[in-house]
């Protein structure tokens, strides 16, 4: 500022000197000189004012685009350049911070909607668009209850209870379960946060179903056992035949509960991520011969069982687990094939894959059931499964064992004609033998 005053002072001093000089040499010349100096001054300032206005009118205000000035304007433009530079710097900083904030918001798994006091959408992020079926471009300013119409949501919004979240199930567009939380925000605004809890909800449902299923499975044998125990305790001198029948029934039910507990323990071991696979070279031909003998004894001569070992290849895996998986499939074939039926057990290698399959001429399975057979406790025919000692966990165990061996289970079946359960082992699990195909 002082620089500007100094320069203006110099100009003024020059004008006064010119005036005095003029007055000394004659009054007319004095006024003439003064007018010329003032005119030069006016032109000088007008030129700079025009340059300043032109600069103000451009959109891109950088310090390099500031016009060059002379005289007092030199200092003004220098100050302006400094000011623009510092403004640009803080603008850049703000842009950077805004970008970072946008990146953080975009990376957040939760959706966010800003609502005004009457629940109109002011802004939302892309996650909230996906969660709640909002299109911000079209729906900005719309009432949120036009997008999310569930009664529970409308009531939650109206209640304004900010301390309690809402669980919202089965959204219109996606089958999502969302946890909705309202937070007071700004002046009479509200922030709606949506979190996708579909997988937690699914796990929770599975846990509930699992407990309900186990309780159901245990209740029947326990009822039978306790009924017989009551009868034996109540009656003195009970008929020995009845006593024998009661003991046999109790033994059967206890064995059933034991099977169930064993299968549950096996499943839990297989599911435990810390339980690593104990790999060794599994001699498939010898394992299959062993399983074939067991099938013969289980069938007790009621079926015609064929064993076809078409490959000497071995498998890299856990013998105990593979025995349990393949034993389950063979056991099922025996249990679900009526007397007189045929069962084929086969081991071969085709197109570099190891194939183990069990084919039966049993009751068969309706197509609709096939995708769900490996679910725990899923049964097509409850009574047949239980009557033949099934726990409903056999195929779930098979699925886990195969997953641990990167193998796949293929099921094909025709109702009334029979079924085929085929395990495909990947080439990397095959250990050289005589390769076929
Ligand atoms: P379960 O102990 O009931 O046999 P699994 O998990 O082994 O349980 O099998 C699930 C269901 O799949 C069985 O209840 C049965 O309905 C069906 N199933 C399995 N194997 C066969 C088969 N070979 N033939 C017909 N149905 C079968």
Q: Is 73 in the pocket of ligand 1 (CB under 6 A)?
A: no
Ordered strands of the 189-196 beta sheet? 121-124, 111-115, 189-196, 178-185, 166-168
From the list 8, 68, 70, 6, the residue with the least C-alpha distance to 44 is 70
Give the residue, out of 217, 267, 332, with the most ligand 1 atoms within 8 A of its beta carbon, to mutate for a pocket test.
Answer: 332
**Per-residue pLDDT, 101:** 83
334 lines ligand 1 (CB under 6 A): no
- Pair (334, 311) in one structural domain: yes
The Å distance, Cα 402 to ligand 1 centre, comes to 17
Which pLDDT score, from 0 to 100, does residue 435 have? 44
In this prediction, residue 436 carries a pLDDT of: 47
How much distance in Å is there from the Cα of 143 to the middle of ligand 1? 52
In a domain, 437, yes or no: no
Q: Which of ligand 1's atoms lies nearest the C-alpha of 395? A: 6
Of the candidates 149, 153, 183, 151, the residue with the CA atom closest to the CA atom of residue 166: 153
Q: What percentage of residues in the chain have a pLDDT greater than 70?
A: 93
The answer, yes or no, to whether any atom of ligand 1 lies below 6 A from the CB of 380, is yes
Count of the separate structural domains present in the chain:
4
* 392 in contact with ligand 1, CB cutoff 6 A: yes
Q: Is the CB of 375 under 6 A from ligand 1?
A: no
Task: Give the tokens for residue 433.
Answer: 């033998």
| pLDDT attached to residue 4 | 59
Q: Name the residue range of residue 294's domain.
A: 280-431
pLDDT for position 239:
83
Q: Which atom of ligand 1 is nearest to the CA of 421?
A: 23
Element (DSSP H or E) covering residue 156: helix 151-159
Inside any domain, residue 325 = yes
Atom of ligand 1 nearest to the CA of 360: 23
Pocket-testing residue among 372, 373, 383, ligand 1, by greatest number of atoms within 8 A of Cβ: 373
CA–centroid distance, 128 to ligand 1, in Å, is 44
| CB 363 less than 6 A from any atom of ligand 1 | yes
The pTM score is 0.68
Cβ(391) – ligand 1 distance below 6 Å: yes
Extract long-range pairs of 249-258: CB within 8 Å, 24+ residues apart: 249/224, 250/224, 250/225, 253/220, 253/221, 253/222, 253/224, 253/225, 254/221, 254/225, 255/389, 256/221, 256/386, 256/389, 256/391, 257/218, 257/221, 257/222
- Supply the CATH number for residue 260's domain: 1.10.287.130
Is residue 162 situated within a structural domain?
Answer: yes
Please report whether residue 57 resides in a domain: yes
Is the domain of 300 the same as that of 160?
no
Below-70 pLDDT ranges, the chain: 1-8, 11, 18-19, 22-30, 170-174, 433-437
Do 114 and 185 share a structural domain? yes
pLDDT reported for residue 172:
63
- Torsion, Cα 292 296 298 300, to 10 degrees, reads 180
């Amino acid at each position: 500022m002082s620089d500007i005053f100094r320069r203006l002072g110099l100009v003024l001093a020059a004008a006064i000197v010119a005036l005095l000089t003029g007055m000394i040499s004659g009054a007319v010349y004095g006024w003439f000189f003064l007018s010329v100096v003032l005119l030069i001054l006016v032109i000088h300032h007008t030129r700079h004012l025009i340059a300043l206005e032109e600069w103000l009118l451009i959109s891109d205000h950088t310090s390099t685009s500031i016009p060059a000035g002379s005289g007092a304007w030199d200092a003004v433009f220098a100050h302006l350049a400094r000011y623009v530079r510092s403004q640009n710097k803080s603008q850049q900083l703000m842009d950077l911070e805004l970008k970072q904030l946008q990146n953080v918001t975009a990376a957040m798994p939760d959706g966010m909607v800003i609502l005004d006091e009457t629940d109109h959408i002011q802004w939302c992020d892309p996650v909230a668009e996906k969660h709640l079926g909002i299109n911000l471009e079209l729906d900005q300013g719309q009432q949120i209850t036009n997008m999310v119409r569930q009664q529970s949501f409308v009531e939650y919004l109206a209640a304004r209870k900010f301390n309690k979240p809402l669980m919202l199930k089965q959204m219109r567009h996606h089958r999502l379960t969302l946890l909705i939380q309202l937070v007071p925000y700004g002046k009479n605004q509200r922030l709606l946060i949506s979190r996708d809890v579909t997988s937690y909800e699914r796990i929770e449902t599975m846990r509930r179903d699992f407990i309900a299923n186990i309780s159901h499975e245990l209740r029947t044998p326990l009822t039978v056992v306790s009924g017989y125990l009551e009868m034996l305790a109540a009656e003195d001198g009970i008929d020995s035949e009845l006593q024998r029948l009661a003991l046999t029934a109790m033994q059967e039910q206890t064995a059933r509960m034991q099977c169930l507990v064993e299968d549950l323990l096996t499943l839990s071991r297989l599911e435990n991520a810390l339980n690593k696979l104990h790999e060794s070279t599994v001699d498939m031909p010898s394992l299959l011969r062993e399983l074939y003998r067991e099938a013969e004894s289980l069938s007790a001569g009621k079926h015609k069982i064929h064993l076809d070992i078409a490959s000497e290849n071995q498998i890299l895996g856990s013998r105990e687990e593979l025995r349990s998986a393949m034993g389950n499939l063979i056991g099922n074939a025996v249990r679900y094939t009526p007397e007189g039926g045929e069962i084929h057990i086969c081991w071969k290698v085709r197109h570099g894959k190891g194939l183990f399959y069990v084919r039966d001429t049993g009751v068969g399975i309706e197509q609709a059931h096939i995708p769900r057979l490996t679910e725990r406790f899923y049964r097509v025919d409850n009574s047949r499964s239980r009557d033949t000692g099934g726990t409903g966990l056999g195929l779930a165990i098979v699925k886990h064992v195969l997953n641990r061996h990167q193998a796949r289970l293929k099921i094909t079946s025709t109702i009334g004609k029979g079924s085929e359960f085929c395990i495909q082992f990947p080439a990397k699990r095959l250990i050289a033998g005589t390769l076929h195909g």
